[in-house]
Amino acid sequence: MKHLLSPSIAAIATIALVAPAAATTTIIDDFESGDFVLVDSGDIAQPTFAEQSGLPGSSVLGGVRLTNARAAGVGDTATAEVSGGSLTLSHDSSFNASFNLYYDGIADGAANLIPPGVLGADFSTATNLLLNVSTTGPGAKVQVYLYESFNPTNPIGQVNTAAPVALTNGNNFIDLAIFPNLDANDIQTIRLVFTNITNTSSVTIREFAAVPIPEPGTALLLGSGLIGLAARRRMRR
C-alpha cells in the first residue's frame, strides 16, 4: 500500500525544492597559469616586478597578475615562484622580506591603485576572502587592500583595508565585513601584501578566492528533518 507524505514532511520537501541555490566561489588566483620565477637581490632601491598577462580568467581574475619582491638587504635573495599550481614566497635571510600581489585587469606592468584598475569584480555574494597556504614557520603575515571606483560614502576614499593577518597552515579566512564601508560589487583592484618572510617562514599559496560561508548545511538539515519525521511517524503506528 502506498503512503503519502504527511503535511509536515511535504512542507519540508517543498522548501528543499524551492530553496535558493548556494552562492558560488569566485577564483581570484589558483596559480595554475602564468608560471614564473621572480628574484630580488636587495641591491636596488625599488622592489623587482614581474607581470603575467593574457592568463585565463577562470584561473586568474582579470587575466593579469603583477608580483613584486623586496629582499631585506644587499646580498639577500627574495624569490617568488609560480609553479605546479602554487605560489611560493621565500627569503634566504633571517631578516624580513616583503612581497606584493596585484590583480587589476590591466596589462601595463604597473600597480593601478588610484585610479584603480578595471576588474569590475562583484563580491556581494561572498562573505570571506580565502587563502589556502602552507608555511614553514610562524610569523608570516598578509594584509589585503581592496580598491573601488570612487565612492563618496566611503570616508577613506577608494581604498578599503583589513588589518594584517598572521598566516597559518590550511585555509585562512578574511571576513569582508571588516572592510569599512566596502562596496563589494565594485572591486577594481586587489592587492595582497605579504610581510615577515624569512628563511624560517616561507609561504606557499595554493588558492586565493572570494567565498561564501553558508549557514550550516541547509541540505543536510533538511535531510535530517525528513528522516526524523519519517521515523516518528513509524513509531506512532
Q: Is residue 123 domain-shared with residue 226, that is, in the same domain? A: no
Contacts of 48 (CB under 8 A, 6+ apart): 38, 39, 40, 68, 69, 70
Domain count, the chain: 2
What pLDDT does residue 216 have?
Answer: 56
Q: Is residue 114 domain-shared with residue 3, that is, in the same domain? A: no
Give me the residue label for grid cell 561572498. Answer: 126
What pLDDT does residue 59 have?
Answer: 98
Q: Is residue 130 domain-shared with residue 188, that is, in the same domain? A: yes
Reported confidence tier of residue 23, pLDDT bands at 50, 70, 90: low
> Residue 23, SS3?
coil
Q: Is residue 14 domain-shared with residue 77, that is, in the same domain? A: no
Q: What rounded mean pLDDT belongs to the chain? A: 84
pLDDT tens column, 178-201: 998 898 999 999 999 999 999 999
Mean pLDDT of the region 139-168: 84
- Cell readout for 186 is 565594485
pLDDT tens column, 71-122: 999 999 999 999 999 999 999 999 999 999 999 999 999 999 988 999 999 9
CB neighbour class for 169 (10 Å; exposed up to 12, middle 13-18, buried from 19) = exposed
Reported confidence tier of residue 154, pLDDT bands at 50, 70, 90: low
Domain span including residue 2: 1-22+216-237
Q: Is residue 114 domain-shared with residue 209, that is, in the same domain? A: yes
What pLDDT does residue 4 have?
Answer: 43
Q: Is residue 16 domain-shared with residue 118, that is, in the same domain? A: no
Q: Is residue 120 domain-shared with residue 228, that is, in the same domain? A: no
Is the predicted pLDDT of residue 220 greater than 90, yes or no? no
Mean pLDDT of the region 54-74: 97
Q: Residue 108 to residues 13, 40, 65, 93, 147: CA-CA distances in angstroms?
A: 53, 20, 11, 31, 17
Q: Is residue 29 domain-shared with residue 16, that is, in the same domain? A: no
Q: Is residue 173 domain-shared with residue 207, that is, in the same domain? A: yes
Q: Is residue 8 domain-shared with residue 39, that is, in the same domain? A: no
